[in-house]
Amino acid sequence: MKNDANPSNPAPSSKPTLRITGIPAFQDNYLWLIDDGEHAVAVDPGDAQPVLDELNKRNLTLTSILVTHHHADHIGGIDALLKHYSVPVIGPADSRIPQLTQRVADGETYTLLGQTAQVIEVPGHTLHHIAYFINQPNAFGAPLLFCGDTLFAAGCGRVFEGTFTQMRQSLAKLRELPESTRIYCAHEYTQANLAFALAVEPQNKLLHQRIESVNELRAAGLPSIPSILADELGTNPFLRYDNDAVIAAAVRRTNTRLDAHNSEVKYDHDVIFAVIRQWKDIF
């Protein structure tokens, strides 16, 4: 291999490059590992063995664990990891995550591998769900969001513990992030989510383009994640609850006007979101 470096003019030293690895687990989960070549942070380690395998393969030392919510496919591997590494476990104030050593709330920050992650509370899927946002400037070259099961590529999580209003308000927070934000969600649901999005907005040209692109990735055995927030804003019906086409689809779905009973707002965004989310539940 040709080496174009000039030994008489060496490149200036730089900080280690940070890397994010999506570790497949179960049927469709991604367990995220952030590392600097020596140290690593695990996000939502639902299964310990795939994480341990990746750490051992790359000679990495686990330094902390981040948790978004209490579901087993997100915390199930923590106990086994703690048998190998005595590290802090950071997450929401939820008694159903007994391994936590630090509970964080909306607006608080946590430093990982030299990067500052801001906590965003996003209830809806569960009552205590949080996301971690790493804004620029950072070592990744783009803003990052680790959002568990709140925002998916082309979709969102089911509303299990919270309300549809809580979920919509949580998604409203996330859609205000920079459009270049990379979305690291926890499941490879993208093709199924896009099929539903197409049922909602069959005339959306951006959606057709995204379907083609994602199908090519999956046919090649590549992940569809991370996605980019700009693409979500253009194609994800759960972020488009105030879009005319999505509103029209909800109205057709219920065969009612869905008025907001407010002269300044034609449609109730919470009702529109609830109609679309309930539709997806049985799609």
Catalytic residue among 36, 44, 47, 71: 71
Q: Does 74 participate in catalysis according to the annotation? A: yes
Identify which of 273, 272, 241 has the alpha carbon closest to the alpha carbon of residue 159. Answer: 273
Q: Of residues 69, 70, 128, 129, which has the active-site annotation?
A: 69
- Is 36 part of the annotated catalytic residue set? no
Instruction: Return d(Cα 49, Cα 77) in angstroms, integer.
Output: 8
Candidate list 44, 47, 94, 149, residue with the active-site label:
149
Establish whether 125 is a catalytic residue: yes
- Is residue 97 within 8 Å of 159, Cβ to Cβ? no
Give 111's contacts (C-beta < 8 A, 6+ positions apart).
Answer: 117
Which residue in the list 44, 94, 125, 129 is annotated as catalytic?
Answer: 125
- Say which of 36, 47, 74, 128 is annotated catalytic: 74
What phi and psi values does residue 168 have, to the nearest 5 degrees? -65, -40
Q: Is 71 a catalytic residue?
A: yes
Q: Does the annotation count 129 as an active-site position?
A: no
Q: Is 188 left (phi over 0), alpha (psi -120 to 50) or beta?
A: beta
Q: How many CA atoms lie within 13 A of 144 on its CB side?
A: 22
Q: Residue 106's closest CA among 93, 89, 88, 96? A: 93
The catalytic position among 36, 44, 73, 231 is 73
The one catalytic residue in 70, 128, 129, 187 is: 187
Q: Where in the sequence numbering do the catalytic residues fall?
A: 69, 71, 73-74, 125, 149, 187
